[in-house]
Amino acid sequence: MTSLGLTMIGVFAGIARSSHQDVILMDQASMIQLPLQREDSEKPIMDQILDTVAFSGRLTELQNTLHQKCETLDWVTEADCTMGRQLVDFILAQKGGETGNDLDVAKRVVGVTLTETVYGSPGQILGMDTDHSGDISATELRPSIEEMGVKVEKGTADIMAIVDTDRDDKLSMKEVYQFGRGCLVLRQFLPEVDGVNPFHTATVDLLPTLDKNTWHLPAPSPENLEIHKKFQDLSANISAECHALYWPTEADCKKAETILNMLLQLPIYEGVKTLEVAQAIAPLKLFLHTPDQFAFGLFDMDGNRAFTRDEFMFTTGMLLAGMDKSGREKYFDVIDQDGAGNVTREDVYDFIRGCLVIRHFIPEIDAVSPGRAKDGSPMLSDSAALNMALHIIDPPPLPKPKLAAGPKLLYVFGIMIVAFTIQWFVCAAKPKLEATEDDGVKPTKTVM
């Protein structure tokens, strides 16, 4: 895969949320949000209605038969079945949520759990643990409840009542693991609730990953801890540090704080290269150091200084054939910070300025120029980097393609032939003058 592909893969990892209050959780392989699959929105309306009605009927039936069906599975426990039944009750109680669609609610409720506990990286769900206590409080759970499209206060209380089995008002990783098993019970009988991989993997085969990601976590690596410590140190005073610089605006400082919050949530366990993922989230290699025709200009196929989701998906579909559609869509969501579905040059420029604030203090996030001078400042100065970033707003004209040696010789040969032809015609048409005495030559006599 190309270096561009490797760079983009790092970003396709986590749950994209609003920049003013939520975080983005990342893993190294894929960026997975809790999506309502776009394929659904592309179906004819009548098919969507039929799917919704059919699912609601199956969900209601499962509410009455879940325990009997659970007994047929050899990998479940009584606690798994109880958790699954409570989940079904909760989904039905939402009465379709904001869209009136039980399937939408089920995808959001179950999907947010499977995304972080099964399809994410080890410990990814701890990104909700914003105070780094090791547990998830009701307050820290609220952003995920908002994602579900249910009433926040009641929804938070209901989810806590299901998951918080020891009633200590916080969720331990063991409780999250058990909740994940309950979600897998629903996936077993209603596979479409899994918004990532609903049909191609047996539910029982997902259990080892759930265990590894939530309960038996691998140890963090020293390299990952080192870069994470730098993110922590900077986050403690990012606003003051940013405003002490001569060049950032208030918007730059706020953007830097948002990006830094993303970096703080990166997994640090063995098997994950935290710095490489951070370099992809802050895409300086792609948008600062790469010529525009291979970066923004590549996505902006119609040349209108912006690219849409469709343009982005078409281009990355050709470049990154090994990356699934869901992952590419989530990368677009990271760039499209305002959710407008249309990323302009100004949007990318503002994002890169925020990255350059962080780069001033942690040059390593710049994969191309990560070095430091003797005074600790980046080898590539802020002013030089800012000047380089201007090409995002005002890209230089594309150079004219050079001719290959063969066509070039043909063109030269053709020019020479045309020149000789013109000269021959001009010289042939010119009249010859007879010599006169004034020319100092004695004229000859014509003999009659």
Question: Token pair of 403, please?
Answer: 């001719």
Under a CB-based contact definition with an 8 Å cutoff, are residues 109 and 148 in contact?
Answer: yes
pTM of structure = 0.60
Most confident of 90-104, 180-194, 368-382: 180-194
The pLDDT value recorded for residue 135 is 87
Q: What are phi and psi of 343, to 5 degrees?
A: -95, 120
Amino acid at 188: Q
| Angstrom distance (rounded) from CA 267 to CA 14 | 10
Q: Which residues contact 171 (CB under 8 A, 6 or more apart)?
A: 135, 136, 137, 141, 160, 163, 164, 179
User: What are the structure tokens assigned to 57, written together?
Assistant: 């009927």
Angle at 60 between CA 56 and CA 64, to 5 degrees: 165
Going by pLDDT thresholds of 50, 70 and 90, the confidence category of residue 4 is very low
**Token pair recorded at residue 351:** 């994002």
pLDDT tens string 215-262: 888 888 899 999 999 999 999 999 999 999 999 999 999 999 989 988
Q: Supply the angle between the helices 274-281 and 222-235 in degrees, to the nearest 10.
A: 40
pLDDT for res 397: 84
- The whole-number pLDDT of residue 431 equals 60
The conformation of residue 447, written as its DSSP 8-state character, comes to P
Distance, CA of 27 to CA of 273 (rounded, Å): 9
- The whole-number pLDDT of residue 423 equals 67
Mean pLDDT for 287-299 is 90
Most confident of 121-135, 326-340, 361-375: 361-375
Q: What is the pLDDT of residue 382?
A: 94
pLDDT higher than 80, residue 145: no
Closest by Cα among 196, 225, 204, 198 to 123: 225
pLDDT number for residue 270? 81
Average pLDDT, the chain: 79
Per-residue pLDDT at 14 exceeds 50:
no
Cα-based angle 298, 303, 306 (whole degrees, multiple of 5): 80
Give the pLDDT confidence score for residue 100 in this predicted structure.
83
Asked whether the predicted pLDDT for residue 11 surpasses 50, the reply is no
Ranges of beta strands (E only) in 110-239 are: 136-137, 170-171
pLDDT tens per residue across span 85-118:
999 999 999 888 777 888 888 988 898 789 889 9
Select the highest-mean-pLDDT range: 9-18, 139-148, 375-384, 399-408: 375-384
Domain layout of the chain by residue ranges: 33-195, 222-393
Whether pLDDT at 387 is above 90: yes
The residues facing 137 across adjacent strands are 170
Distance CA 233, CA 214 (A): 26
- Tell me the HSE value of 340 on the side-chain side, using a 13 A CA sphere: 9
- 435 band by pLDDT with thresholds 50, 70 and 90: low
Residue 18's pLDDT is 32
Structure tokens at 218: 């691998």
The pLDDT of residue 411 is 67
Contact between 110 and 33 under an 8 Å Cβ cutoff? The reply is no
pLDDT at 10: 36
pLDDT > 50? residue 180: yes
The set of residues, in sequence order, having a beta carbon less than 8 Å from that of 64 and lying 6+ positions away, is none
- In this prediction, residue 184 carries a pLDDT of 96
pLDDT at 13: 35
